[in-house]
Amino acid sequence: GQNIDQPTEMTATEGAIVQINCTYQTSGFNGLFWYQQHAGEAPTFLSYNVLDGLEEKGRFSSFLSRSKGYSYLLLKELQMKDSASYLCAVIDSNYQLIWGAGTKLIIKP
């Protein structure tokens, strides 16, 4: 079967750094997305990785290791508005998008 694993919930402090991990077992791999979803709102695109390595975009960075079936999203200089769920999604060999259940990130002052 296909599986995406993410921690259910994480807590971090404003101004700090947090790393949200995602491991996947899918039938093939054609890329990995990270989306942010605030409570009651739609998911919004954050990043896309298809090659190994780190992609940096402002305060957010995403890393991929295809051999390990592993990705992480790194959030720096945390702000209260970063409190949200972070969804990892993988494109499999059939170009289907397989979603994780999301990680709820709670930022404390």
Partner 1 sequence: DTGVSQNPRHKITKRGQNVTFRCDPISEHNRLYWYRQTLGQGPEFLTYFQNEAQLEKSRLLSDRFSAERPKGSFSTLEIQRTEQGDSAMYLCASSSILGQKTPLRGANVLTFGAGSRLTVL
Q: Residue 11 or residue 96: which is nearer to partner 1 going by CB?
A: 96
Give the footprint of partner 1 on this chain (CB under 8 A): 4, 8, 31, 33, 41-45, 48, 50, 87, 89, 91, 95-97, 99-102, 104
User: What CA–CA distance (Å, rounded) separates 2 from 79?
Assistant: 33
The CB-of-19 to partner 1 minimum distance in angstroms stands at 19
Give which of 7, 36, 35, 37 is closest to 22, Cα–Cα: 7
| Angle made by CA atoms 86, 73, 5, in degrees to the nearest 5 | 60
Q: How far is the CB of 18 from partner 1 (least distance, A)?
A: 19
CB of 15 to partner 1, least distance (A): 27
